[in-house]
């Protein structure tokens, strides 16, 4: 919403400065977004400098000038003035401006084959003097003003732009803003002058609102104005229209706009001679069409509110008028419409047809239903003043009565809500100034809500009005109490927090990527999950909710690769979506890692392998409180992993999946390793397996270490071998460490050799040679039994 202080003073007499006013507006919830110099008809004329006056190739008397108009690049202007020369400071008029002398509107044109963008002006053309010989030569003091308007704004009027919240339609009119300022004691609200007409003619057009279900229109007021001579608006009106950022069109159109911004009362002007017989406000039929004033043709759905005549739709009620009945400069007889349309139906229609207009913006927020007559009066007065004509009596069709809402207001609620005491006298003063009618009852105040405030429903809304006008700075801050009734984080949240920092501490950089993903990449990772499409995605690359954290991480990893980062460890902790129902999501920690082939051998570093990622993963799981001996590692994994170099970690009973890890399938990306921790599962596992702190017990007896090398089938994995050994006696076998795996020469092709060190220690005594020998034999036997492995001799 835009206005000028000058315009505001039509409604408010105040001695406050613009600065004070701006501060106050912010303080009462009418946020000032911008303060700009007002545009006027002459503000397009800017100071310019001829950089080079070249000879026109096809005309001896013309010059083709390179002109600096304060923009990045110079522009070309053809000029016939003898004084057009290099370095001259002058005044430039861009295409679109109207030359004051002859009213000619400038266009981009070709002059003798050369395109000229605008014009350099003489004094007579700007009506500065009669001097028409040559273009204006400005003094050097203008050399710093190139690109700036030559004509200074005389009344120095600033345009104040407010960002009005959707609950305050009344402040979409200057009157509403004035009323709010008046309520805070910033001046006096002026009365609107009663207008009296000599209503000479009769309103002889038949108008009817159809009473149907979902009828958006409940009041349709109108008057006819005959024998007008529509013309260009007078300059005071033009200036206000320009201040709003609109283009002046004709007096009739400008006046309807003016009334809309002045009183927040949208109007529409029809060319009466183009209306066939009568007007009916009705619901549209499916497929009906309307060519609207924005020059687009809309195909209407059923039950949209149309203003129609015998021939068809003339306009969409409260949204936009039609071309067929639009007024022109030569319109002689017109009909002015001032109506009330239902906010939510209007909004629905405009959404469906994707139309935005100033009228729609106001009606969907709620227009004062009692401003119908006021709007007609003001428009009729202005039109007859400027264009002449005779005004008919007003025809007001009404199918619903709007009564003022009544609220029983207990003023104690004010102090209860805001924490400070306000006396009732001040409360009543504020409300009265805002237009509320108050009546003291014994236990409450009876409040009548003005019809221009559709946002006020109950007591709490009145509380807001009072504190808003009093100012939030009056509320006393109360120091918060430092007591806690519940732990800050719950069990799951603690694990989230720990997982995040645990993985980060392994060298991974945390990323946050979109919860959506590219469907094509997502498909590679979704396995048997359903694709969850977004109906209105921001782009086709972000059209589905992610079924895995991999798609985005891989995508960004590749981007970093292109930036030249070959070594990367990235991770994300966040939601993965399993269904489109609320709650159909799990939390996953996914890490990805890649490293260029070893390029600093002197450090003894090896190429990245699956055991690097496994190390990071297992360590994080341990840090999250899952012991190694609670994990079962198997070579099962989803299809986006390398089938031979990947696995999963689950609880021993295989019931809870904790993680996947491995090399990402080379058909997706080469030489990249990754892991996924399923955090919800992990937390569930921990809840099922609560740990008791173990006592610190040391065995005083000697420990012995024995090395073994077993020849086992390639189908048997290391864990099976370890399990076979552990089985013997958990209290004796303290540790099993695999230190070598060998395949190749001297070994059958279907076999591999695994060498391991077993630590044996009793908690009760020092084992003697025979006992140790016995344990060794049992190890060999158990391995044979459970894995078919043979001790390598």
Partner 1 sequence: MSEFEKKLFEFKEKIKVAKNLSELTKISSEIFGKNGIINLEFKKLGSLSPDERKNFAANINSSKKELSELFSKKSNEVLDKEIIEKVNKEKIDITLPEKDFEIGKVHPVSQVIDEISCIFSEIGFSVEEGPDVENEYNNFTALNTPENHPAKDMHDTFYLDQDMKTLLRTHTSPVQVRTMLKGRPPFKIIAPGRTYRSDSDQTHTPMFHQLEGLHIDKDINMGHLKGCLNYFIKAFFEVEKIKMRFRPSHFPFTEPSAEVDIGYRIENNKIIIGEGDKWLEILGCGMVHPNVLKNCKVDPNKFQGFAFGIGIDRLAMLKYGINDLRSFFECDYRWLNHYGFDPLDVPTNYRGLSR
Looking only at residues 139 through 178 of this chain, which bind partner 1 when binding is defined by CB under 8 A? 165-168
Among residues 524, 487, 491, the alpha carbon closest in space to that of 679 is found at: 491
Among residues 700, 687, 693, the alpha carbon closest in space to that of 763 is found at: 700
If one asks whether residue 479 binds partner 1 (CB under 8 A), the answer comes out as yes
Among residues 378, 176, 396, 390, the alpha carbon closest in space to that of 258 is found at: 378
218 is written with which tokens?
């409940």
In the complex, the smallest distance separating the C-beta of residue 247 from partner 1, rounded to whole angstroms, is 25
Query: Nearer Cβ to partner 1, position 61 or 421?
Result: 421
In the complex, the smallest distance separating the C-beta of residue 399 from partner 1, rounded to whole angstroms, is 21
Interacting positions 525-554 with partner 1 (CB under 8 A):
532-539, 542, 545, 553
Helix (H/G/I), strand (E/B), else coil: 410: coil
Report whether 551 contacts 517 (CB < 8 A): yes
If one asks whether residue 744 binds partner 1 (CB under 8 A), the answer comes out as no
The residue with tokens 């009620």 is 317
If one asks whether residue 491 binds partner 1 (CB under 8 A), the answer comes out as no
Q: Where are the alpha helices (DSSP H) in 287-442?
A: 343-353, 358-363, 372-387, 412-418, 424-433
Stretch that binds partner 1, among 237-245, 389-397, 478-486, 673-681 (CB under 8 A): 478-486
What end-to-end distance do the CA atoms of the chain give, in Å?
A: 93
**DSSP class of residue 370?**
G
Strands of 790-791's sheet in order across: 733-742, 751-760, 704-713, 790-791
Stretch that binds partner 1, among 44-52, 134-142, 286-294, 464-472 (CB under 8 A): 464-472
If one asks whether residue 559 binds partner 1 (CB under 8 A), the answer comes out as yes
Letters for 304-343 (x = contact with partner 1 by CB under 8 A, - = none) are ---------------------------------------x
In the complex, the smallest distance separating the C-beta of residue 444 from partner 1, rounded to whole angstroms, is 15
Report whether 328 contacts 334 (CB < 8 A): no
If one asks whether residue 27 binds partner 1 (CB under 8 A), the answer comes out as yes
Query: Nearer Cβ to partner 1, position 395 or 459?
Result: 459
In the complex, the smallest distance separating the C-beta of residue 497 from partner 1, rounded to whole angstroms, is 7
If one asks whether residue 684 binds partner 1 (CB under 8 A), the answer comes out as no
Query: Nearer Cβ to partner 1, position 571 or 710?
Result: 571
Of positions 102, 139, 512, 744, contacts partner 1 by CB under 8 A: 512
Q: What is the DSSP string of 98-112?
A: B-TTT-PBP--EEET
If one asks whether residue 702 binds partner 1 (CB under 8 A), the answer comes out as no
Instruction: Give the H or E element holding residue 19.
Output: helix 18-27
In the complex, the smallest distance separating the C-beta of residue 648 from partner 1, rounded to whole angstroms, is 24
If one asks whether residue 506 binds partner 1 (CB under 8 A), the answer comes out as yes
Q: Where are the alpha helices (DSSP H) in 452-609?
A: 459-470, 491-504, 519-523, 550-562
Of positions 19, 154, 476, 597, contacts partner 1 by CB under 8 A: 476
Of positions 29, 173, 176, 317, contacts partner 1 by CB under 8 A: 29
Interacting positions 580-599 with partner 1 (CB under 8 A):
580-585
Separation of CA 394 from chain center: 44
Interacting positions 76-135 with partner 1 (CB under 8 A):
none
Interacting positions 340-399 with partner 1 (CB under 8 A):
343-345, 347-348, 351, 361, 364-365
Letters for 419-438 (x = contact with partner 1 by CB under 8 A, - = none) are xx------------------
Interacting positions 564-583 with partner 1 (CB under 8 A):
565, 568-571, 574-575, 577, 580-583
Among residues 34, 5, 33, 4, the alpha carbon closest in space to that of 244 is found at: 4
Residue 210 Ramachandran class (φ > 0 left, ψ -120 to 50 alpha, else beta)? beta
Separation of CA 13 from chain center: 39
Compute φ and ψ for 679, nearest 5 degrees. -65, -40
Query: Nearer Cβ to partner 1, position 70 or 419?
Result: 419
Q: Where are the alpha helices (DSSP H) in 388-453?
A: 412-418, 424-433
User: In angstroms, what CA-CA distances link 27 with 168, 171, 184, 473?
Assistant: 15, 15, 10, 9
In the complex, the smallest distance separating the C-beta of residue 573 from partner 1, rounded to whole angstroms, is 8
Burial grade of 263 (CB within 10 A; 0-12, 13-18, 19 or more): buried
Report whether 545 contacts 537 (CB < 8 A): no
Among residues 575, 591, 574, the alpha carbon closest in space to that of 583 is found at: 575
Query: Nearer Cβ to partner 1, position 289 or 344?
Result: 344
Q: How many residues line the site for partner 1 (CB under 8 A)? A: 100
In the complex, the smallest distance separating the C-beta of residue 517 from partner 1, rounded to whole angstroms, is 12
Of positions 472, 611, 701, 739, contacts partner 1 by CB under 8 A: 472
Query: Nearer Cβ to partner 1, position 32 or 75?
Result: 32
Query: Nearer Cβ to partner 1, position 482 or 730?
Result: 482
Stretch that binds partner 1, among 82-90, 277-285, 470-478, 617-625 (CB under 8 A): 470-478
The residue with tokens 């109007």 is 267
If one asks whether residue 701 binds partner 1 (CB under 8 A), the answer comes out as no
Query: Nearer Cβ to partner 1, position 510 or 784?
Result: 510
In the complex, the smallest distance separating the C-beta of residue 348 from partner 1, rounded to whole angstroms, is 5
The number of beta carbons lying within 10 Å of the beta carbon of residue 164 is: 20
User: In angstroms, what CA-CA distances link 690 with 491, 494, 652, 654?
Assistant: 12, 15, 15, 18
Query: Nearer Cβ to partner 1, position 398 or 464?
Result: 464
Report d(CA 54, CA 786) in Å as an integer: 99
If one asks whether residue 601 binds partner 1 (CB under 8 A), the answer comes out as no
53 is written with which tokens?
């006056």
If one asks whether residue 187 binds partner 1 (CB under 8 A), the answer comes out as no
Residues in a beta bridge with 650 = 632, 657
In the complex, the smallest distance separating the C-beta of residue 316 from partner 1, rounded to whole angstroms, is 16
Stretch that binds partner 1, among 201-209, 300-308, 391-399, 485-493 (CB under 8 A): 485-493
Of positions 57, 82, 147, 458, contacts partner 1 by CB under 8 A: 458
Report d(CA 789, CA 792) in Å as an integer: 9
Query: Nearer Cβ to partner 1, position 56 or 468?
Result: 468
407 is written with which tokens?
């609220």
Query: Nearer Cβ to partner 1, position 567 or 763?
Result: 567
């Amino acid at each position: 919403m835009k206005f000028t202080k000058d315009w505001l003073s039509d409604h408010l007499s105040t001695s406050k400065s613009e600065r004070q006013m701006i501060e106050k507006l912010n303080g009462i919830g009418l946020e000032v977004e911008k303060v700009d110099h007002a545009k006027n008809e002459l503000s397009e004329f800017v100071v310019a400098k001829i950089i080079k006056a070249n000879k026109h190739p096809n005309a001896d008397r013309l010059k083709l000038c390179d002109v600096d108009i304060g923009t990045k690049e110079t522009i070309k202007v053809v000029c016939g003035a003898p004084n057009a020369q290099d370095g001259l400071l002058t005044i430039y008029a861009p295409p679109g401006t109207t030359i004051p002398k002859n009213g000619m509107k400038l266009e981009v044109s070709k002059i003798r084959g050369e395109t000229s963008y605008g014009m350099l002006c003489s004094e007579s053309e700007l009506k500065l003097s009669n001097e028409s010989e040559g273009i204006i030569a400005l003094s050097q003091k203008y050399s710093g003003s190139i690109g700036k308007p030559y004509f200074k704004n005389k009344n120095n009027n600033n345009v104040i732009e407010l960002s009005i919240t959707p609950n305050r339609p009344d402040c979409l009119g200057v009157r509403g803003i004035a009323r709010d300022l008046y309520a805070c004691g910033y001046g006096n609200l002026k009365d609107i002058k009663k207008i009296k007409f000599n209503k000479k003619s009769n309103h002889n057009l038949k108008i009817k609102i159809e009473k149907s279900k979902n009828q958006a229109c409940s009041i349709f007021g109108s008057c006819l104005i005959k024998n007008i001579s529509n013309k260009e608006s007078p300059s005071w009106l033009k200036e206000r229209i320009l201040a709003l950022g609109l283009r002046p069109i004709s007096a009739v159109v400008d006046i309807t706009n003016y009334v809309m911004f002045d009183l927040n009362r949208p109007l529409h002007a029809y060319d009466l001679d183009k209306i066939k017989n009568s007007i009916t406000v009705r619901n549209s039929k499916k497929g009906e069409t309307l060519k609207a004033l924005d020059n687009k043709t809309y195909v209407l759905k059923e039950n949209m509110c149309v203003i129609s005549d015998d021939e068809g739709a003339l306009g969409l009620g409260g949204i936009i008028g039609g071309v067929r009945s639009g007024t022109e400069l030569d319109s002689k007889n017109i009909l002015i419409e001032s109506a009330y349309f239902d906010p939510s139906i209007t909004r629905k229609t405009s959404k469906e047809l994707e139309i935005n207009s100033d009228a729609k913006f106001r009606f969907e927020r709620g227009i004062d239903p009692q401003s119908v007559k006021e709007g007609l009066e003001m428009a009729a007065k202005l039109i007859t003043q400027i264009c002449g004509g005779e005004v008919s009596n007003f025809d007001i069709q009404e199918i619903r009565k709007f009564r003022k809402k009544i609220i029983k207001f207990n003023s104690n609620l004010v102090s209860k809500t805001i924490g400070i005491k306000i006396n009732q006298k001040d409360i009543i003063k504020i409300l009265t100034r805002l237009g509320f009618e108050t009546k003291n009852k014994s236990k409450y105040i009876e409040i009548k809500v003005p019809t221009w405030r559709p946002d006020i429903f109950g007591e709490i809304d009145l509380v807001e009005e009072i504190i808003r006008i009093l100012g939030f700075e009056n509320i006393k801050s109360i120091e918060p109490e430092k007591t806690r009734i519940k732990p800050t984080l719950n069990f799951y949240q603690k694990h989230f927090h720990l997982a995040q920092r645990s993985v980060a501490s392994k060298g991974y950089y945390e990323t946050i990527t979109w919860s959506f993903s590219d469907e094509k990449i997502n498909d590679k990772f979704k396995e048997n999950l359903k694709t969850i499409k977004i109906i209105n995605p921001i782009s086709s690359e972000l059209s589905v909710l992610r079924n895995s954290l991999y798609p985005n991480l891989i995508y960004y990893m590749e981007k970093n690769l292109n930036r030249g980062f070959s070594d990367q460890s990235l991770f994300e902790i966040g939601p993965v979506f399993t269904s489109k129902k609320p709650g159909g999501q799990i939390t996953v920690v996914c890490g990805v890692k890649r490293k260029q082939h070893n390029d600093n051998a002197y450090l003894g570093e090896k190429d990245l392998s699956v055991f690097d990622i496994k190390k990071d993963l297992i360590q994080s799981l341990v840090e999250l409180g899952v012991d190694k001996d609670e994990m079962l590692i198997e070579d099962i994994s989803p299809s986006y992993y390398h089938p031979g170099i990947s696995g999963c970690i689950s609880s021993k009973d295989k019931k809870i999946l904790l993680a996947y890890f491995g090399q990402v399938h080379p058909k997706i990306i080469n030489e990249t390793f990754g892991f996924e921790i399923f955090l919800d599962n992990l937390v569930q596992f921990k809840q099922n397996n609560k740990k008791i702190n173990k006592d610190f017990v040391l065995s005083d007896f000697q420990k012995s270490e024995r090395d073994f090398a077993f020849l086992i089938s390639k189908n048997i994995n290391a864990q099976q071998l370890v399990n076979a050994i552990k089985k013997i006696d958990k209290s004796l076998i303290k540790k099993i460490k695999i230190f070598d795996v060998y395949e190749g020469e001297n070994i059958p092709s279907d076999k591999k050799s695994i060498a391991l060190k077993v630590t044996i220690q009793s908690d009760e005594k020092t084992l003697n040679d025979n006992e140790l020998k016995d344990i060794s034999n049992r190890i060999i036997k158990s391995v044979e039994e459970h894995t078919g492995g043979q001790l390598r001799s």
